Amino acid sequence: MKDVNVGICGLGTVGSGTFNVLTRNARLIAGRAGCSINIIRIASRRPRDDMDLGDIPFTTDIFDVVNDPSVDIVVELIGGYDTAKELVLAAIRNGKHVVTANKALIAVHGNEIFDAAQKAGVVVAYEAGVAGGIPVIKAIREGMAANRIDWIAGIINGTGNYILTEMRAGREFAEVLKEAQELGYAEADPTFDVEGIDAAHKLTILASAGFGVPLQFEKGFTEGISKITPYDIAHAELLGYRIKHLGIARRREDGIELRVHPTLIPQSHLIAKVDGVLNAVLVDGDAVGQTMYYGPGAGDEATASAVIADIVDVARAVSIGSEQRIPYLGFEPEAVEDLSVLPMEDVHSAYYLRITALDRPGVLANISSILSEHGINIESIMQKESELKDGRIPVIILTHTVQERQMNQAIEELEALADTDGQVVRIRAENFN
Ligand SMILES: NC(=O)c1ccc[n+]([C@@H]2O[C@H](COP(=O)([O-])OP(=O)(O)OC[C@H]3O[C@@H](n4cnc5c(N)ncnc54)[C@H](O)[C@@H]3O)[C@@H](O)[C@H]2O)c1
Ligand SMILES: N[C@@H](CCO)C(=O)O
Ligand code: NA
């Protein structure tokens, strides 16, 4: 069987992890792939003095990899949108297969890239882009092929989960983010992690692979963790909940929900126990029920594990000359449905509300009457002894499920009340029943 030649573009965290694991486990990987997988070219902006690349040619121009006729698979690990897109489209034009860890690229330009790849008859694989080392794309596209997938929910940003976990232990947001950057977990621009953009990229891909819909990143709802306070983390805990940053995609008759936001989940649920840089994705299928995939969501060798699994898949097909391919998003193009993303106002959810109010008679009655006028039922209410010492008290309310539109109207009225400080904190809550 023919050897398969790989060229790596980008020798940073994931690039170096990929080089190291492919080199270290070369024999056993070849045993699985049925052929040798040779790294024949590496390109990155700067050489790495800390790495021994042996006699593999290194250049600073990533297009050298794409233009090398002996390269079968281009491994794109530079990140970003524009140059990465140019690189991947050039690779496809040159008839090369592509393996990428770049979820931003796939979420935003995937429809165009898969279309080009389909016409060129090449594979574009992206397992490492979603939930890092967890083989969740394989699970959805192949393992769940029998099911109508109704919803997917997950902790899909390692940096964000690491920050929330450490904040629960009393550490400062900024200090933990810096540590996540040093550990190689964060994106080049860490606002992608803390403002939920990275999770939204991944959720977009999960929803398309799960439901058979086009990638629609720009239509999703995205809220990050930057406004989550230690106070709300602690009070959610007192109510029996944990705050996690979740991506939630739900297939409905009238469209799909696509939303990323901090979420209260019962402490007893398995996903509440997923801490640190670990990720977990719950996938609900009509035949199998709820399944959960759990493991490291970021990091050099953990991500390399998924990059190399994709390389092995492509290598198996290339080395035996197979025409058989798994469709890019799990469904053949003609089976993709044009279901659109629903506006956030149409989503139903329970809510945690924190209202800072003046400590005077009738305040609670005013708050509950606004909620009940909008059909919002209260599950529990906690009126805290004032820690503010200025005549104001925090009122914490957990509601039953209600439409976001109703909640927006109620919050507007609550904020306009003379008895409140005009800023209601809202965190959505889910129990996955
Ligand atoms: N770090 C993780 O844990 C992780 C996990 C999953 C996916 N990813 C994704 O993998 C990709 C790479 O992430 P990373 O953490 O390894 O980033 P990184 O910054 O550590 O590495 C990127 C490397 O590519 C090089 N590079 C960038 N643009 C280049 C260009 N135009 N020409 C030549 N070299 C260029 C950089 O110099 C750097 O060495 C990103 O798409 C990221 O989102 C990262
Ligand atoms: N920055 C990303 C890398 C993995 O995709 C994260 O923290 O999850
Ligand atoms: Na993955």
> pLDDT (tens digit, 9 = 90+) per residue, 50-74?
999 999 999 999 999 999 999 999 9
- pLDDT the model gives residue 275: 98
Is a pLDDT exceeding 80 seen at residue 390? Answer: no
For residue 290, how far is the Cα from the chain centroid? 19
Together in a domain, 327 and 355? no
Together in a domain, 265 and 168? yes
Is a pLDDT exceeding 80 seen at residue 28? Answer: yes
Together in a domain, 161 and 18? no
Is a pLDDT exceeding 70 seen at residue 399? Answer: yes
Is a pLDDT exceeding 70 seen at residue 387? Answer: no
> Does residue 69 belong to any structural domain of this protein?
yes
> Does residue 253 belong to any structural domain of this protein?
yes
Structure pTM?
A: 0.96
Amino acid at site 282? L
Please report, rounded to a whole number, the percentage of residues in the chain having pLDDT higher than 70: 99
What mean pLDDT do residues 9-22 have? 98
Together in a domain, 83 and 177? no
Is a pLDDT exceeding 80 seen at residue 1? Answer: no
Beta carbon of 299 within 6 Å of any ligand 2 atom: no
User: Among all ligands shown, which has an atom nearest to the Cα of 202?
Assistant: 2
> pLDDT (tens digit, 9 = 90+) per residue, 171-187?
999 999 999 999 999 99
Last residue of a domain, one of 267, 296, 325: 296
Last residue of a domain, one of 335, 352, 383: 335
Together in a domain, 321 and 410? no
Beta carbon of 15 within 6 Å of any ligand 1 atom: yes
- pLDDT the model gives residue 129: 98
> pLDDT (tens digit, 9 = 90+) per residue, 410-431?
999 999 999 898 999 999 999 9
**Best of 8, 9, 11, 14 to mutate for ligand 1, by most ligand atoms within 8 A of CB?**
14
Beta carbon of 298 within 6 Å of any ligand 2 atom: yes
Please report, rounded to a whole number, the percentage of residues in the chain having pLDDT higher than 90: 91
Distance 329 CA to ligand 1 centre (A): 23
Atom of ligand 1 nearest to the CA of 76: 11
**Known catalytic residue at 389:** no
Together in a domain, 103 and 153? no
Write the residue with the smallest CA distance to atom 37 of ligand 1: 45
Write the residue with the smallest CA distance to atom 15 of ligand 1: 13
Together in a domain, 190 and 235? yes
> Does residue 420 belong to any structural domain of this protein?
yes
Together in a domain, 151 and 271? yes
The ipTM is 0.99
Distance 310 CA to ligand 2 centre (A): 18
CB 271 within 8 A of CB 265: yes
In CATH, what number is assigned to the domain containing residue 394? 3.30.70.260
Is a pLDDT exceeding 70 seen at residue 388? Answer: no
Q: Which domain holds residue 85?
A: 4-133+300-335
> Does residue 138 belong to any structural domain of this protein?
no
Distance 244 CA to ligand 3 centre (A): 19
- pLDDT the model gives residue 402: 98
In CATH, what number is assigned to the domain containing residue 181? 3.30.360.10
- pLDDT the model gives residue 35: 94
β 255-266/289-296 pair status? unpaired
Beta carbon of 262 within 6 Å of any ligand 2 atom: no
Q: Which of 85, 103, 202, 244 is catalytic?
A: 202
Together in a domain, 234 and 272? yes
**Best of 106, 136, 185 to mutate for ligand 2, by most ligand atoms within 8 A of CB?**
185
Number of domains in the chain: 3
Last residue of a domain, one of 296, 323, 353: 296
Beta carbon of 44 within 6 Å of any ligand 1 atom: yes
Is a pLDDT exceeding 90 seen at residue 383? Answer: no
> pLDDT (tens digit, 9 = 90+) per residue, 233-284?
999 999 999 999 999 999 999 999 999 999 999 999 999 999 999 999 999 9
CA distance 271 to 154: 8
HSE at residue 96, side-chain half, CA atoms within 13 A, is: 28
What mean pLDDT do residues 149-170 have? 97
> pLDDT (tens digit, 9 = 90+) per residue, 73-122?
999 999 999 999 999 999 999 999 999 999 999 999 999 999 999 999 99
Give 392's pLDDT tier (boundaries 50, 70, 90). Answer: confident
> pLDDT (tens digit, 9 = 90+) per residue, 318-339?
877 777 789 999 999 899 999 9
Is a pLDDT exceeding 80 seen at residue 384? Answer: no
Alpha-carbon distance values, 218 to 226, 259, 314, 326 (Å): 21, 11, 30, 26
CB 136 within 8 A of CB 296: no
Together in a domain, 219 and 273? yes
> Does residue 54 belong to any structural domain of this protein?
yes
Together in a domain, 147 and 278? yes
Distance 228 CA to ligand 1 centre (A): 28
Distance 77 CA to ligand 1 centre (A): 5
User: Among all ligands shown, which has an atom nearest to the Cα of 306?
Assistant: 3
In CATH, what number is assigned to the domain containing residue 124? 3.40.50.720
CA distance 41 to 403: 54
Give 158's pLDDT tier (boundaries 50, 70, 90). Answer: very high
- pLDDT the model gives residue 386: 66
